[in-house]
Amino acid sequence: MNGSAGRRRIAAFGLRTRLVLAFLLVAVVSAGTTAALTFREARNAVLETAQDTAVASFREQVQQLGFSLPVEGGPSLQSVLRDIAGRGKPHPWVVFAEYGSMRVSSGTSPASTVITPELRRAAHRQPNGSFERVVKDGVPYLTIGMPAVFKIGVNGVLPSGLVLFAVMRMSDEQANVEALLTAARDGALPGLAIALVPALLSARSVLRPVRELRKAAGNMGSGRLDTRIQVRGSDELADLARTFNESAAELEHSVHELRQAEARARRFASDVSHELRTPLAGMLAVTELLDEDAGRLDPDTARAVRLISTETVKLAVLVEDLMEISRFDARAAELNTDDVDAAETIRKTLESRHWTDDRIRTDLPDGIRVRLDPRRFDIVVANLVGNALRHGGAPVTVRLRTQVRTDGGHMLVTEVEDSGPGIRDDVLPHIFDRFYKADAARTRSAGSGLGLAITQENVRLHGGTVRAANTPGGGALFTVEMPLYPRGTAR
């Protein structure tokens, strides 16, 4: 379930999705940037137009204002302020006048809460006036401060102390700005929807050769080395397809040569083993006769006869092992299974090889029924026990038990443990290799060098596994796990 969930996550965030998202992200950034810049320029244009019109109109009204000092408040000044407010552009103003402590306005309130102290100070300092945009209770205002001055000479002015302020609501400009924002947003969304079409088309054009490459790689992984990809166009993906085809052709050629060489090597080993079998059978018969008469020969001759007999037996074992390996390589090995008692089968193996002395210890519970090939299981046990006696140390313990796998299957577990120094760490990965020797200087050994390899093949043929390890006490431990009833067999 975890694997299928992982594949669904990969599919959900696969290359196609990422390409479309990347394309849309670029479109979003582009559309957003364009809309933001357009909105900013339009907003500034709307606000600046209203602002410039209001400031210029108010400055003109104040410059045309006639007054005398000291300024007197009352209905006459309020009437003047209302007249100025009525001519306000682009929207009506509310005009306030401040002279010392006097406060008069064209509206109902003599003072304004919108005018800030900063604007008052700026209006007193600058003869041409000052303005400020203020938001009060969510409503935008344009406030303008303009001092009334007397002209002296050509360019000189003299402050009169009277300062007029105009306050203009900018609700219409705010509505226009909001309309611009809505238009920019509504224009960007259809653009993104339209951008999805070329994004899908682009992702499809990019992913088509990628999918073909994945399919071709899967076909090659399953053994179809003649798989090729159709090359389209002249872009980087086409170069990738051509490179894949060239690599596939080279791989197919190399694998074909390797298979031919492997087949020739297997055939050679099989033929040589088969041709040696007949003369070896005659040699074994002769050496048996010579062994019987060796006691009547002189010592040197007897020693030579026994040496020849021993080496002939080793050669016969090697030939038999080579023929067995050849059958595994040719996939000609078959199982002849039978329902047997596992403990009784192991005891027969030990008794037939006279391993019943104190060198062997057993823990073989009766009643474990298993379906296997007795001959091949005999080879497995004999090879492991013989290897333990030869290269490990006595006593050798043979244990038998069953266990249940995580998927509910029942396994037969056979363990062979010796009391020797164990297996070196650099040897463990190669312990089941053919003709592997732990000691490179040891060119001669009692076995053929194929015993553990044959053991592994026999275990695999049963659908099981064999592994080697070292025990905490220092000895080597070989563990064979085989299903009690292989798939396809009746219980």
Cβ atoms of 180 and 43 closer than 8 Å: yes
Cα 204 to the center of its chain, rounded Å: 22
Partners of 141 in the β-ladder? 134, 169
- CA distances 305 to 236, 280, 282, 296, 315, Å, are 74, 16, 15, 12, 15
| Longest CA pairwise span in the chain (Å) | 161
At 300 the pLDDT is 79
> Mean pLDDT lowest for which of 131-145, 270-284, 340-354?
270-284
> pLDDT of 105-141, one tens digit each?
888 888 888 888 888 888 888 878 888 888 888 888 8
> Band of the pLDDT at 444, cuts 50, 70, 90?
very low
Q: Is 355 helix (H, G, I), strand (E, B) or coil?
A: coil
More confident residue, 389 or 316: 389
Q: Do residues 447 and 391 make contact, with C-beta atoms less than 8 angstroms apart?
A: no
CA distance 291 to 302: 8
φ/ψ bin of 233: left (φ > 0), alpha (ψ from -120 to 50), beta (otherwise): left
pLDDT of amino acid 156: 67
In this structure, are residues 427 and 438 in contact, taking their beta carbons and an 8 Å threshold?
yes
List, for residues 63-79, the tens digit of each pLDDT value. 777 665 566 666 777 78
Query: What is the three-class DSSP state of 339?
Result: strand
Report the percent of the chain where pLDDT is more than 70: 78
- Please tell me what DSSP assigns to residue 106: S
SS3 call for 72: coil
Q: Which range among 8-12, 139-143, 215-219, 223-227 shows the weakest confidence by mean pLDDT?
A: 8-12
Per the DSSP assignment, residues forming a β-bridge with 372 are 338
pLDDT reading at 369 higher than 90: yes
Residue at token pair 């509206």: 107
Closest to 160 measured CA to CA, from 96, 241, 74, 100: 100
Instruction: Indicate the pLDDT class of residue 313, thresholds 50, 70 and 90.
Output: confident
Instruction: Place 468 in a pLDDT band, splitting at 50, 70 and 90.
Output: very high
Range with top average pLDDT, 146-155, 162-171, 346-355, 441-450: 346-355
CA distance 452 to 391: 12
> Best-predicted range by mean pLDDT among 219-223, 299-303, 458-462?
458-462
C-alpha 337/C-alpha 40 separation (Å) is 86
Q: Which residues, 6+ apart, have CB-to-CB distance to 26 below 8 Å?
A: none
User: Which of 220, 204, 225, 170 minimizes the C-alpha distance to 55?
Assistant: 170
Q: Name, of 164-178, 233-247, 367-381, the range with top average pLDDT.
A: 367-381
Q: What is the pLDDT of residue 1?
A: 47
pLDDT band at 195 (very low <50, low <70, confident <90, very high): low
Residues 128, 56 contacting (CB under 8 angstroms): no
Cα distances from 174 to residues 16, 61, 171, 179, 444, in angstroms, run 43, 26, 5, 8, 100
Average pLDDT over residues 164-178: 81
Q: Are 106 and 84 in contact (CB under 8 A)?
A: yes
Q: What is the pLDDT of residue 7?
A: 47
Residue linked to tokens 């609700």: 171
Residues 323, 329, 331: CA angle, nearest 5 degrees: 105
Determine the Cα–Cα distance for residues 45 and 52; give it in Å rounded to an integer: 10
pLDDT tens-digit profile of 236-255?
Answer: 777 888 888 888 888 888 88
Pairing mode of beta strands 396-404, 360-363? parallel
Terminal-residue alpha carbon distance, the chain: 31
Flag whether pLDDT at 386 surpasses 80.
yes
Do residues 371 and 403 touch, judged by C-beta distance below 8 A? no
pLDDT band of 347, cuts 50, 70, 90: very high
Q: Tell me how far apart the alpha carbons of residues 448 and 319 are, in angstroms, rounded to a whole number.
A: 9
Sign of the C-alpha dihedral computed for residues 437, 440, 444 and 445 taken in this order: negative
Average confidence (pLDDT) over 219-228: 82
Is 80 exceeded by the pLDDT of residue 272?
A: no
Mean pLDDT of all residues in 157-183: 79
Pick 36 or 446 by higher pLDDT.
36
Q: What is the pLDDT of residue 123?
A: 83
The owner of tokens 């060119």 is: 443
* Sheet containing 465-470, strands listed edge to edge, beginning at the edge strand earlier in sequence: 360-363, 396-404, 410-417, 476-483, 465-470
Mean of the pLDDT values across residues 205-211?
71
The per-residue pLDDT of the chain, averaged, comes to 79
Of the given ranges (125-129, 152-156, 285-289, 375-379), which has the lowest mean pLDDT?
152-156
Gyration radius of the chain over CA positions = 51
User: Phi first, then psi: what are they for 469, rounded to 5°?
Assistant: -155, 175
Reply yes or no: is the peptide bond before residue 421 cis, omega within 30 of 0.
no
CA of residue 359 relative to chain centroid, distance = 54
User: Span 4-10, mean pLDDT?
Assistant: 48
Q: Which two tokens stand for residue 323?
A: 């023929």
Flag whether pLDDT at 465 surpasses 90. Answer: yes
- Identity of the highest mean pLDDT range in 184-198, 267-281, 424-438, 471-485: 471-485
As a whole number, mean pLDDT of residues 137-157 equals 79
